[in-house]
C-alpha cells in the first residue's frame, strides 16, 4: 500500500460523511518490456487511467522481451507472479497452466467485450481456456506496403500498386532507374513479408484454415503456391543486403528515397515520424496487394495471474483500464497502434492509423481479419514454417510446389 497524503483533502465539508476517496491507493504490479521513450509515453496513459480509478500502477519494467519472459517464468515458478504481465506471440506457453490465471469474465461481461472485440481477438484473449485471461492492448497492422512518394514520382507514378503485376512493373522501372525496388530485411521480416503475400492470395478464411487449423488442403492449395511464386519473384528484386539488414535499416532506405517500398508492420511509422516525414506527402502506407479492406494484425497484451491478494478490485480495474475506450485512443496515439475494440473514436489519430482502423473494422465484418499465426499456434510449428520460408527465399532451385509440401509437413510440428 502507498500512502497518499494529498487524498486526505479530496473531499471535505458537505460530502465528508460519505467520504468518496481514500487515504490509500492500492498498487497493481505490472511486468512489461515497454521502456523506450514512445513506449513509456504510451504506458503513461494506462497509468493515468488506472490512477483515475483509485489504483497505482506498480512498474516492473524489463528492458528486453526475452529478459522479461525469463523473469516472469522465474516468478511463476516461485509462486509469486505479478498481477499482470505483457505477452505477445508466446501466449500459449503461459496459458498451458490455466489454474494459475485470473478469470476476467466478470469484467468482460460488464464491459461487453463479446460485442466490442472481434471473434479472432476474443480467441486470442481466451488463449484456449474458455475464459478471458488476457487483455489485448494493441492492434498492430502488418499488411502495410510503405512507399516512397519521391521514388514513385521518378517512375512516373503517383498511386500505390493495387496488384502484384502493377508492383512488378514499377519494380522493373525502379531497377532501371537505379532505385532499389524493395528494401528487404532479414529473418522475421522475410517471414512477415511472405505471410502478407499469402494473406492476399488466400483470403482470410483459407489463410486461417492453413495456419490456424493446419489444414493440408489449404496449405498446399493453388493460392498458397501462388504466394510462393510471388515471393520468389520479389526475391529477384531484392539486394544481397537483405540477408543482414535490420527492419529499421530497411525502413530508412525508403525514408531516404533510395528504395521504392518496404513491407513492414505499422511500427515502421515511428521511423518515418522521427525523420519528420508526413503520410501521403513523403510516403504512402498502402495495403499489400490483395489485402485491401482486410487487416492482418499482431497484438501486445497483458495476461493476468492469480496472486495471494484476496481483494482483486485493483487487478480487475487494471483489466478494465487497458481496454477502456478513451484510454485506448490516447495509448494508441503514443504507441502507433489502433484500439482492439471496434467502437473507438479514432478521428484524432494520424491518417495511417485511421486507414488501419477502417480496414480492421471492415475485416471484422467480412471475415478478412486475421492475426499472425504466432498468436495462435505453438512456437515450434511457427518456427518450422519460418524455416521453410527462409530456405525458399535463399534457394532459387526450390519450387513453389516443393515449398508447400514442406509447409504441410511443418504443420505437424509442435
Share of the chain above pLDDT 90, in %: 86
Question: CB of 304 within 8 A of CB of 133?
Answer: yes
Residue among 128, 263, 113, 122 at smallest CA distance from 183: 263
pLDDT at 24: 55
CA pseudo-torsion sign 260, 263, 269, 271? negative
Q: Which residue has the higher pLDDT, 151 or 89?
A: 151
Domains of the chain: 27-139+299-364 (3.40.190.10), 141-296+373-413 (3.40.190.10)
**Segment 308-338, tens digit of pLDDT:** 999 999 999 999 999 999 999 999 999 999 9
pLDDT at 3 over 60: no
pLDDT at 294 over 50: yes
**Segment 256-279, tens digit of pLDDT:** 999 999 999 999 998 999 899 999
Task: Label residue 137 by pLDDT band (50, 70, 90).
Answer: very high
Q: Which residues pair with 295 in a beta bridge?
A: 369
User: What is the arithmetic mean of pLDDT over 374-397?
Assistant: 95
Q: Which residue has the higher pLDDT, 64 or 25?
A: 64
pLDDT at 6 over 80: no
pLDDT at 307: 95
Kindly report the average pLDDT of the chain as a whole number: 92
Question: CB of 163 within 8 A of CB of 286?
Answer: no
Share of the chain above pLDDT 70, in %: 94
Distances (CA, A) of 301 to 33, 64, 88, 171, 237: 11, 16, 6, 37, 36
* 347, three cell numbers: 478521428
**Segment 7-36, tens digit of pLDDT:** 334 433 333 233 334 445 689 999 999 988
Question: CB of 267 within 8 A of CB of 248?
Answer: no
**Segment 200-248, tens digit of pLDDT:** 999 999 999 999 999 999 999 999 999 999 999 999 999 999 999 999 9
Integer-rounded Cα Rg, in Å, for the chain is 23
**Segment 105-125, tens digit of pLDDT:** 999 999 999 999 999 999 999
pLDDT at 2 over 50: no
**Segment 152-198, tens digit of pLDDT:** 999 999 999 999 999 999 999 999 999 999 999 999 999 999 999 99
Collapse the DSSP code of 285 into the 3-class scheme (helix H, G, I; strand E, B; otherwise coil) and give the result.
strand
pLDDT at 306: 96
Question: CB of 136 within 8 A of CB of 124?
Answer: yes
Task: Label residue 414 by pLDDT band (50, 70, 90).
Answer: confident
Longest dimension (CA), the chain: 82
Q: What is the DSSP string of 372-391?
A: -GGGTS-HHHHHHHHHHHHH
Contacts of 365 (CB under 8 A, 6+ apart): none
User: What is the arithmetic mean of pLDDT over 41-55?
Assistant: 96
Instruction: State the helix-helix crossing angle for 400-410 and 379-394, rounded to 10 degrees.
Output: 160
Contacts of 276 (CB under 8 A, 6+ apart): none
pLDDT at 325: 95
pLDDT at 358: 97
Amino acid at each position: 500500500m502507498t500512502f497518499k497524503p494529498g487524498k486526505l483533502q479530496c473531499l471535505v465539508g458537505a460530502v465528508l460523511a460519505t467520504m468518496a476517496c481514500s487515504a490509500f491507493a492500492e498498487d497493481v504490479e505490472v511486468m512489461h518490456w515497454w521502456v523506450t521513450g514512445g513506449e513509456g509515453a504510451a504506458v503513461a496513459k494506462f497509468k493515468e487511467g488506472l490512477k483515475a480509478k483509485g489504483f497505482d500502477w506498480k512498474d516492473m519494467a524489463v528492458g528486453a522481451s526475452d529478459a522479461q519472459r525469463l523473469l516472469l517464468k522465474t516468478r511463476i515458478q516461485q509462486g509469486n507472479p505479478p498481477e499482470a504481465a505483457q505477452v505477445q506471440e508466446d501466449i500459449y506457453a503461459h496459458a498451458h497452466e490455466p489454474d494459475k490465471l485470473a478469470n476476467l469474465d466478470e469484467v468482460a461481461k460488464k464491459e461487453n467485450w463479446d460485442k466490442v472485440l472481434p471473434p479472432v481477438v476474443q480467441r486470442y484473449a481466451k488463449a484456449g481456456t474458455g475464459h478471458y485471461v488476457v487483455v489485448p492492448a494493441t492492434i498492430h497492422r502488418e499488411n502495410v506496403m510503405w512507399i516512397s512518394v519521391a521514388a514513385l514520382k521518378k517512375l512516373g507514378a503517383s498511386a500505390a500498386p493495387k496488384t502484384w503485376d502493377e508492383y512488378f512493373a514499377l519494380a522493373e522501372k525502379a531497377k532501371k532507374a537505379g532505385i532499389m525496388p524493395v528494401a528487404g530485411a532479414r529473418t522475421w521480416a522475410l517471414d512477415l513479408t511472405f505471410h502478407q503475400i499469402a494473406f492476399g492470395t488466400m483470403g482470410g478464411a483459407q489463410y486461417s484454415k492453413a495456419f490456424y487449423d493446419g489444414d493440408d488442403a489449404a496449405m498446399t492449395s493453388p493460392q498458397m503456391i501462388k504466394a510462393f511464386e510471388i515471393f520468389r519473384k520479389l526475391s529477384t528484386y531484392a539486394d544481397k543486403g537483405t540477408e543482414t539488414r535490420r527492419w529499421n535499416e530497411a525502413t530508412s532506405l525508403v525514408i531516404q528515397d533510395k528504395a521504392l517500398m518496404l513491407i513492414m508492420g505499422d511500427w515502421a511509422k515511428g521511423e518515418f515520424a522521427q525523420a519528420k516525414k508526413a503520410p501521403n506527402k513523403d510516403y504512402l502506407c498502402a495495403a499489400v496487394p490483395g489485402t485491401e479492406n482486410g487487416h492482418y494484425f499482431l497484438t501486445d497484451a497483458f495476461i493476468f495471474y492469480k496472486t495471494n491478494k484476496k481483494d482483486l478490485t485493483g487487478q480487475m480495474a487494471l483489466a478494465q483500464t487497458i481496454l477502456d475506450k478513451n484510454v485506448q485512443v490516447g495509448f494508441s496515439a503514443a504507441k502507433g497502434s489502433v484500439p482492439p475494440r471496434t467502437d473507438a473514436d479514432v478521428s484524432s489519430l494520424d491518417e495511417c492509423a485511421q486507414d488501419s482502423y477502417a480496414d480492421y473494422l471492415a475485416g471484422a465484418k467480412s471475415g478478412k481479419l486475421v492475426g499472425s499465426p504466432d498468436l495462435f499456434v505453438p512456437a515450434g510449428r511457427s518456427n518450422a514454417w519460418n524455416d521453410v520460408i527462409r530456405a525458399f527465399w535463399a534457394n532459387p532451385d526450390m519450387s513453389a510446389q516443393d515449398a508447400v509440401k514442406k509447409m504441410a509437413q511443418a504443420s505437424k510440428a509442435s
